[in-house]
Amino acid sequence: MANKIMILGDSGTGKTTSLETLDPKETFIICSDEKSLPFKGWKKRYQTTFSENGKLDLQKTNLFNTTDVKTIKVLLEKISSDMPHIKIIIIDTITNLMIAEFMRRIKEKGFERFTDSALDTYSLLTIPEKLRADLTVVILGHTESNYDSEGVMRTSFKVPGGKLIGQNIVPESLFTSVLYSEVIMENNEPKYYFITQNNGKNTCKSPKGMFDTYKIPNDLAFVIQSIAKFENED
């Protein structure tokens, strides 16, 4: 069973920026947003390579763009079985995967499209359980804030389209560590952080003692190393 981490936050708060510290030789990014990576020199570090017959050359690829959940599931299994040098898989973002599926079927009538979307999302969130143990799967997603019945503003995983997932599946509950991204202006410069603990109004969480502080730099390599150390130390 692979380790899995969820990173949630608004657009522009540093979720993808946190990937900059990862070793590209050990990292595979699955991008559903079809956008450039937000750090200098990314094109030299992350590439998509096709063979002469037009098929994806997985051994020379560490970045792939798709919005198809079934393709991603096959790719995850391939990486797990055939690419032992890859230790970290990024899915950026699951929110956009859900939006893409919803838009592809927006003209359909009936409840089935929402059921299918919920099943696809759940299968993607749980597939790390079938992957090799030395893999870490990091799933990025967006947040939304709404008032609850008591008038308190609460923040959680954004559920595009219907509410079937939010009512029947709590994505954050499937993860031991759910970090929130945050950007703060300090001395007229944006500083990016991860929030490590719940404040009573969000779904952020991590085990007690895993991180020393409530707020840490948004360095994903540090996060993965900290989790590994926490899980393996006496």
The full set of domain ranges for the chain reads: 3-232
Which pLDDT does position 100 carry in this prediction?
Answer: 80
pLDDT of residue 204 exceeding 80, the answer is yes
Separation of alpha carbons 21 and 37, rounded Å: 13
Given the DSSP bridges, would you call strands 136-141 and 3-8 parallel, antiparallel or unpaired? parallel
pLDDT of residue 29 exceeding 90, the answer is yes
Which pLDDT does position 167 carry in this prediction?
Answer: 62
Which pLDDT does position 35 carry in this prediction?
Answer: 84
C-alpha angle 195/100/157, rounded to 5°? 25
Segment 85-100 shows an average pLDDT of 91
Q: Is 134 exposed, middle or buried (0-12, 13-18, 19+ CB in 10 A)?
A: exposed
Q: Give CATH for domain 3-232.
A: 3.40.50
Separation of alpha carbons 83 and 59, rounded Å: 7
Q: 108 pLDDT band (50/70/90 cuts)?
A: low
Separation of alpha carbons 153 and 145, rounded Å: 6
- The predicted-structure confidence for 63-83, as pLDDT tens digits, reads as follows 999 999 889 999 999 999 999
* Distance from the Cα of residue 120 to its chain's centroid: 15
Global confidence as pTM = 0.92
Local structure of 173: helix, strand or coil: helix
More confident residue, 117 or 204: 204
Lowest mean pLDDT among 12-21, 95-104, 201-210: 95-104
Contact 17, 188 (CB under 8 A): no
